[in-house]
Structure 1
């Protein structure tokens, strides 16, 4: 069985962060979202894996996969030339899949549970397709399945009147017959080849598609708040204190905390769960619960909690506590104590700022 991870989406709901980096490489606990999916596939014994990407971001994906991978397998990259939908993203990978069965994983999803039970069900029941679903309170926001027994009768994308509360959570298993179904469908009203249409085509062609009722925690990280929530969830799983940097005697550390190599904590309070990356300096500051501070970050005279701060950023003397925030790479936020007090902003498109009043 092969693994296929789809990462060609534009990430428009996460701008401006996604103007310079794909959403699938944004960090959770200082690790790209994509890596959680890759590790799940490897844990299920899948070692032939391809990632479908936009050509615009191919170099960035290649650099991340080469620099940060903790695994010993090669990951293939496949270009989707135009953003024409999930089914089209699968179609461009046909030469990689060939005639093998494959597990499909949406690269902006995080699922906290093993994939082996899905593979076992798919193979034991000799299904043509298996869709992992989760019970949700707002099914109209997702692709939804309608069942007949434990087989899928119908799939609907973001229905106004959902036929069930079972939302597709971004993991699927298919046989090669999916490519024949994709060849039969036409673009949806939004101009994309929809995976839900291809699944419905399989059903109409009398193929047997089942469901796996997932008991796992799951999050689609398509919105800024989703990243914050997912980061919180993963940090809650931390235990103990792992210190590889320098902490001076005037600092106070409360577990669980992970501090990377060559990091320096000076006259500061770190209250876990918190992860701090390599070569990062925290001085005269408070880093509160559910914060992920990446590598090569400098934070002076600040209070931060429940936030994600990315690489090579400098935060200095911010006059308010930073909370529930996403701060990108190579950002500088500097407080100015001199008079007259004013705000100087160099802000890109689609930025979002909230100031106390």
Structure 2
């Protein structure tokens, strides 16, 4: 099995946190979003992953490739990194990894996490993971009949269906997808000014290929600050339910309390602090005279004299203040 991960977007909705770190490498409960994504896919499919191809943007930091290759290696897979020089749509992004599009593969866009218990239909040519949503006009959606997908529609202006495509797809033969996308590119077939994956899927369906929906139990977005903090909390809750302890044994506690679920990284120091529930606090951070709940805080950050709730704070930050629901990017100093 191969996994193709388009992740070239600049993450503008999550700024300032994506000014220095690509959104898929943002830590959620101590792990990058993209790492959690590929681990979840491997667990759901119950198959070994032999290769992971990442498609990144041209302005990503220089160390992005090494971080992604390490994520692939941790899963026992070969890592491949390619660059999408110009943002020309979902199909164009996938085609940047065309050398990896052969045999069984999963395409997964790296701005979402999910929980599912799903068994692949061996008689189907592919599967599309979907979730019922309240505002389908913001998504690609499917229509289906008798358990088989009949239509793919990109961001419908009028109601077609409320089953939204969450951005994860399985293909029994990746080379067929590669050829269909190449047809779109060669013939300049665009929708809303971009080369859309849904157009390739529609062409494949018209040629007799059978796609089935894969229902997800939980769909967790990481689009902006508020929903990323919420997703962090959900991931922590799942970890607690699974009996996982995400608090490092190297945490130094001085007159402090941790209310589970929390992720507390290595070499964190808590002084007169109350942390949790639903808090991730990155490695080498210090919290003093503060209360923090429902918040996502990255590494090497110092927080003093604060009461935080629904906050997101980046790496290498110093914060000493009275604001509660804050969003502070990397290398900021508010004292």
Structure 1 and Structure 2 fold alike (TM over 0.5): yes
Query: How is 1:95-174 mapped onto 2 (pairs within 5 angstroms)?
Result: 95-97=99-101, 99-114=102-117, 117-118=119-120, 121=121, 124-127=122-125, 129-174=126-171
Are 1:75 and 2:79 an aligned pair? yes
1:189 to 1:66, Cα distance in 2 relative to 1, 3 A:
closer
Aligned residues of 2:147 and 2:212 also touching (Cα < 8 A):
yes
How far did residue 230 of structure 1 move?
A: 1.3
Partner of 1:64: 67
Q: What residue number does 2:325 align with?
A: none
Q: State which of 192, 198, 203 in structure 2 corresponds to 1:196.
A: 198
> Which of residues 250, 256, 271 is equivalent to 1:262?
250
Q: 1:67, CA displacement in angstroms?
A: 5.8
Task: Tell whether the 8 Å contact from 1:133 to 1:169 is kept in structure 2 after alignment.
Answer: yes
- CA shift, 1:32, in A, is 0.7
Shift in Å, 1:24: 0.5
Single out whichever of 217-226 and 309-318 deviates more from structure 2. Answer: 217-226
Task: Quickly say closer, same or farther: Cα 1:146–1:20, change in 2 above 3 A.
Answer: same
Task: Identify the structure with bigger relative contact order (alpha carbons < 8 Å, sequence gap 6+).
Answer: 2
Q: Match of 1:252?
A: none
Unaligned runs of 5+ in 2: 323-327
Q: Aligned-residue CA RMSD in angstroms? A: 2.7
Q: Please tell me whether Structure 1 or Structure 2 has the larger radius of gyration of its CA atoms.
A: 1
Q: Is the 8 A contact 2:124 2:210 kept in 1?
A: no
* 1:1-357 aligned within 5 A: 1-43=1-43, 44-45=46-47, 46-57=49-60, 59-65=62-68, 70-97=74-101, 99-114=102-117, 117-118=119-120, 121=121, 124-127=122-125, 129-174=126-171, 175=173, 176-185=175-184, 186=188, 188=190, 190-204=192-206, 206-239=207-240, 258-318=246-306, 321-335=307-321
CA separation of 1:207 and 1:90: change in aligned 2, threshold 3 A: farther
- C-alpha contact 1:139 1:164 (8 A) present in aligned 2: yes
Once residues 42 and 31 of structure 1 are traced to their aligned partners in structure 2, the CA distance between those partners, rounded to angstroms, is 16
Name the count of aligned residue pairs: 318
Once the two structures are TM-superposed, the CA of residue 197 in structure 1 deviates from its matched residue by 2.1
Q: Cα offset for 1:66?
A: 5.5
Distance in 2, matches of 1:149 and 1:67, equals 42
Query: For residues 290 and 59 of structure 2, what CA distance do their matches in structure 1 show?
Result: 36
- The answer on whether the counterparts of 1:40 and 1:114 sit within 8 Å (CA) in structure 2 is no
Distance 2:80 2:218 in 1: 28
Distance 1:329 1:84, change over 3 A: same
CA spacing shift, 1:300–1:66, aligned 2, 3 Å: farther
- Of residues 141-150 and 225-234 in structure 1, the stretch that sits farther from structure 2 once superposed is 141-150
